Structure 1
Amino acid sequence: MNYLIMLFVLAASVWLPRHDTARSEVPVDRPNVIFVFADQWRAEATGYAGNADVITPVIDKMAGESVVFHNAVATMPVCAPYRGTLLTGQYPLTHGLFYNDKPLATDAVTMGKIFKQNGYATGYIGKWHVNGHANGEHPFAARDKPVPRERRQGFDYWKVREVTHDYNQSFYFDENDRKHDWEGYDVFPQTDSAIGFIRNHKQSPFLLVLSWGPPHNPYHTAPEKYRKMYDPARLSVRPNVPPAMQDSARQILAGYYAHCTALDDALGRLLKALDNEGIADNTIIVFTSDHGDMLLSKGVLRKQRPWDESILVPMLLRYPARYGKKRIDIHKPIGTPDLLPTLLGLSGIDIPRSIQGSDVSPGISDPAKYPVDGALIMLPVPFHEWQFMNGGREYRGIRTERYTYVRSLAGPWLLYDNEKDPYQENNLSTEPQYASIREQLDRQLGKILRKTNDEFLPADDYMKKWNYTYDGKDSLRPPAYWENVKRRAVKTK
């Protein structure tokens, strides 16, 4: 009997609301919530962010009617970890998805379950990437299989593929595990499915997540209509792209921007549907991305790195019933764990104790109440495209409104003054005149790590703790790796 009581108390401690979080003021009618996110869309690749090359008129107009988060930070800038954190409001070392294609626990307290428990209809469309595979299977074994009902984390309406990067004539599975094709470029039929969901559920509050695959590579597979809009020779590149790679970068950018413009059109369809159904005012709609892409800045591609091209993402939150249709600029950071509690706060839903992030919504109207001064950035285990042999390394860091500070296992690694050095070309981590700033940021980082019970251990410790296996050559180490680990061990004795 005592054992049963202990189990009940433990379960209640996860689901009970946190008493340190004030519920936001919301309209009497609970808002609908639509969370739209792309894959690998970096923050600067929008017109409203100042990029003169990319064509994003819908997003730019939406920015004029939204809360614009200028420093939206992907806490762990890679696909599955972001999704695990989005769904749970927890850091990757808590929910366990710090390596792609690993499973999110079936009993996790998640976005879909919380909203559903509070009377919301729930739907998910597009890329999932939190089902994972069993140890011993091929790393991508689950990517083309249906997600079992018990692993859908509270979402009922279901048009999902675990993972694909073929955006033309791709397939998905429905609620009954039946396989269907998305005709043409999948972003558009996925958006049409979202519009259908909205029409069928507009009489009661709903939560809808729409997860697009592009502009994640392959870069040159957008419809021809959009590819024709971009001439590589006319595109500019960021100053931190090495001169020898600038022509290649322009070719990549042309395809990348074509995907972005196609998604911009799709978002326009979605916003128009909200207007047509008469529910735009009482709908919270978020547009963002899971992480960015280096796109040959610093001579590298893709994500996982701690630089802004990888960690910063666009983020707009439009909620006319609460904020009107005016632009509100937020320069304080918001990290991935903060997304779920913020949506819950805006919806008037109590925040479960399991959530580690902060509800930033009080700080939107009153900057003095903004609860986040620095967002954690982390990579407990480098893998795949940035595996150890490709220069990958474990790191923990903090991105504030002005600075980026990062530690590796060997000690302080990077320090940038992003106000003076927006392309992060001057590493100040060893500069004597920045010693006090480095020490201040190090203390700030240490406080976050202690709060989240993050001991910042070598990658192998976390893989063993979670009984994960490495994929391919991810576990191979360069010669200096263990020397760096030993150096850290000596410093912390």
Structure 2
Amino acid sequence: MLHYLKKHSRPFLSWHLLLVGLLVLNTSCNDAKKKDTAVTAVTTPTKKPNILILLTDQWRAQATGYAGDPNVKTPNLDRLASESINFTNAVSGTPVCTPFRAALLTGQLPLTTGVFMNDVQLNPDALSMAEIFSEYDYHTGYIGKWHLDGHGRLQNVPPGERRQGFEFWNGNECTHNYNHSVYYDNDNPERKIWEQYDTFDQTDAALHYINDRKAIEDPFLMIVSYGTPHGPYHTAPKSYRDRFNPEDIKLRPNVPEKSQKRAKKELSGYYAHITAIDDMIGKITQQLKDDGQWDNTIILFTSDHGDLLGSHGELKKQQPYDESIRVPMLLKLPANKKIAPSINKTVVNSEDILPTLLGLTDIAIPSTIEGTDFSPNILNNEELDNAALIRSIQPFGSWNRNRGGREYRGLRTPRYTYTRDLNGPWLLFDNQEDPYQETNLIGNEKYATIQSELDTQLTQRLKTNKDEFLPGPEYVKKWGYTVDKTGTVPYTE
């Protein structure tokens, strides 16, 4: 605790320790008064729940059996959904890899951390998820894709502050070579290669970790971070690829004719990766049940962003369309919470995950965290008609300016998506009446009041967050990043 206080002195910890001291003192006094009582009630403290985060890469919310995708079967996820709260409006507020991961670990906004593009480093001094939970006797572990270090995609993230407090480590910075996948094992600086398709080996590592922890009193926080179903799409094992014929793929109605052939081909591989992950999730959930850890484990299944895959004639991520920003999010709670599985339309954003997990485990939320704690709403079975901020701070990579990329700020509510770019209002969709977002309602008289209300709300949110909505290069300059001619941070292997 002293090391933690020295590095991250926070008022909430001081008050927490004072409160614990007062409670102990009060308990001692009460015990003294009851000294002569014949029968003394003894209570056993409830063990804090394990937390298992199953994180995938580029998995859009629409692409599961339980979400109604006609092409893919995900029986294990469907089963998990039947035992979970399904947040159908979960979003990735900055829909690209590194910014999501920084928000997940810190509960902070991208203009606070400076992590608004890929291949930049999250400040090692940031107060992270692993550091917070470890101070409450959680053992912490990380398996798979990290993408927060910025020192080269195949390089080791050495033990210490650059691992942001995680103890157990079978991680890699970033690779998409899933059949020759680099990783580093705990304190060993030697580069290793997973022997199989890495989704399989990372799952086995998670199974060993879970099994090793079953007889240990302290709870665990484990993130299993898969690199798939991110492209390259046709690299899942052949037995999975053979299940999907491109000609049989049913496309979303918003895929234009010019994009359909490519979309069908890529989706056939995308679904192969998804099916493989679904099988692995089945193995992990079964292990938890076999080990007797299921009832006392929180499981969060989600993704860092979605994938357009031809919708709106576009590819990959960063854009404000639902295929890009909406992610699957299932939250399975411990049995003692006695919360029935449900579908919840509250809009949950990337930075909301950490404070909500802290709330669900009765851990005080540090003042550094900017996300919203939805645990009271979850425990009261409430839905909120709220709004999440979505943004592109600096377009880059697959959506750089040469490919139509632009800065935007916007809101995603349970019903509407509203964005404006540097020139003013850009997109407005009524997602209830137009679920495939095919009709832009900017300037539509029928929606003039809605547009005005959302614009006012967006202005207020930006003001609250001290977001001046400047051109991307201003933020690149502020944070001292080096970018190439497309505005992308170059990376090395």
Q: After TM superposition, is the score higher than 0.5?
A: yes
Give CA deviations for 1:269-308 in whole Å, capped at 9, x if unaligned: 1001101110100100111100000001011110000000
Query: What residue in structure 2 maps to residue 403 of structure 1?
Result: 416
Structure 2 counterparts to residues 64-463 of structure 1, below 5 A: 64-133=82-151, 142-149=152-159, 150-176=161-187, 177-202=189-214, 203=216, 204-324=218-338, 326-368=340-382, 373-463=386-476
The one-letter code matched in structure 2 to 1:57 is: P
Instruction: Provide the C-alpha distance between the structure 2 equivalents of 1:117 and 1:57, rounded to a whole number of angstroms.
Output: 37
User: SS state of the match for residue 234, structure 2?
Assistant: coil
Do 1:65 and 1:324's aligned partners in 2 also have CA atoms closer than 8 Å? no
Instruction: Provide the C-alpha distance between the structure 1 equivalents of 2:274 and 2:155, rounded to a whole number of angstroms.
Output: 28
Query: What residue in structure 2 maps to residue 470 of structure 1?
Result: 483
Instruction: Provide the C-alpha distance between the structure 2 equivalents of 1:265 and 1:416, rounded to a whole number of angstroms.
Output: 35
Instruction: Provide the C-alpha distance between the structure 2 equivalents of 1:250 and 1:71, rounded to a whole number of angstroms.
Output: 26
The one-letter code matched in structure 1 to 2:284 is: L
Task: State the identity as a percent.
Answer: 50
RMSD of aligned Cα (Å): 2.0
Instruction: Provide the C-alpha distance between the structure 2 equivalents of 1:30 and 1:240, rounded to a whole number of angstroms.
Output: 45
Give CA deviations for 1:167-221 in whole Å, capped at 9, x if unaligned: 0031201222232221111011101111111112222200000000000000000
Distance 1:9 1:213, change over 3 A: closer
Give CA deviations for 1:109-157 in whole Å, capped at 9, x if unaligned: 0101111111100000000000014xxxxxxxx1111012220001010
Runs (5+) with no aligned partner, structure 1:
1-6, 19-26, 134-141, 477-493
User: SS state of the match for residue 233, structure 2?
Assistant: coil
Which segment drifts farther, 245-254 or 218-227?
A: 245-254
User: SS state of the match for residue 299, structure 2?
Assistant: strand
Deviation at 1:472?
4.5
Deviation at 1:323?
4.7
The one-letter code matched in structure 2 to 1:34 is: L
Do 1:17 and 1:353's aligned partners in 2 also have CA atoms closer than 8 Å? no
Instruction: Provide the C-alpha distance between the structure 2 equivalents of 1:10 and 1:179, rounded to a whole number of angstroms.
Output: 32
Instruction: Provide the C-alpha distance between the structure 1 equivalents of 2:361 and 2:211, rounded to a whole number of angstroms.
Output: 20
Deviation at 1:29?
1.6
User: SS state of the match for residue 462, structure 1?
Assistant: helix
Which segment drifts farther, 397-406 or 237-246?
A: 237-246
Instruction: Provide the C-alpha distance between the structure 2 equivalents of 1:401 and 1:334, rounded to a whole number of angstroms.
Output: 10
Do 1:384 and 1:471's aligned partners in 2 also have CA atoms closer than 8 Å? no
Deviation at 1:469?
1.4
Query: What residue in structure 2 maps to residue 59 of structure 1?
Result: 77
The one-letter code matched in structure 2 to 1:121 is: H
Deviation at 1:327?
2.3
Give CA deviations for 1:82-120 in whole Å, capped at 9, x if unaligned: 000000000111111101111101110010111111110
Query: What residue in structure 2 maps to residue 486 of structure 1?
Result: none
- The runs of at least 4 consecutive aligned structure 1 residues that moved more than 3 Å come to 7-11, 13-18, 322-326
Instruction: Provide the C-alpha distance between the structure 1 equivalents of 2:176 and 2:126, rounded to a whole number of angstroms.
Output: 27
Runs (5+) with no aligned partner, structure 2:
17-44
Do 1:125 and 1:158's aligned partners in 2 also have CA atoms closer than 8 Å? yes
Deviation at 1:12?
2.6
Distance 1:13 1:451, change over 3 A: farther
Do 1:68 and 1:316's aligned partners in 2 also have CA atoms closer than 8 Å? yes
Deviation at 1:445?
1.4
Query: What residue in structure 2 maps to residue 491 of structure 1?
Result: none
Do 1:334 and 1:372's aligned partners in 2 also have CA atoms closer than 8 Å? no
Do 2:385 and 2:414's aligned partners in 1 also have CA atoms closer than 8 Å? no
Do 2:12 and 2:365's aligned partners in 1 also have CA atoms closer than 8 Å? no
2:10 is the alignment partner of 1:12: yes
Instruction: Provide the C-alpha distance between the structure 2 equivalents of 1:433 and 1:275, rounded to a whole number of angstroms.
Output: 53
Instruction: Provide the C-alpha distance between the structure 1 equivalents of 2:94 and 2:14, rounded to a whole number of angstroms.
Output: 27
Distance 1:162 1:10, change over 3 A: closer
Do 1:16 and 1:352's aligned partners in 2 also have CA atoms closer than 8 Å? no
Deviation at 1:388?
1.0
Do 2:394 and 2:487's aligned partners in 1 also have CA atoms closer than 8 Å? no
Do 2:339 and 2:381's aligned partners in 1 also have CA atoms closer than 8 Å? no
Deviation at 1:13?
4.8
The one-letter code matched in structure 2 to 1:306 is: P
Give CA deviations for 1:215-251 in whole Å, capped at 9, x if unaligned: 0000000001111111111110011101122122111
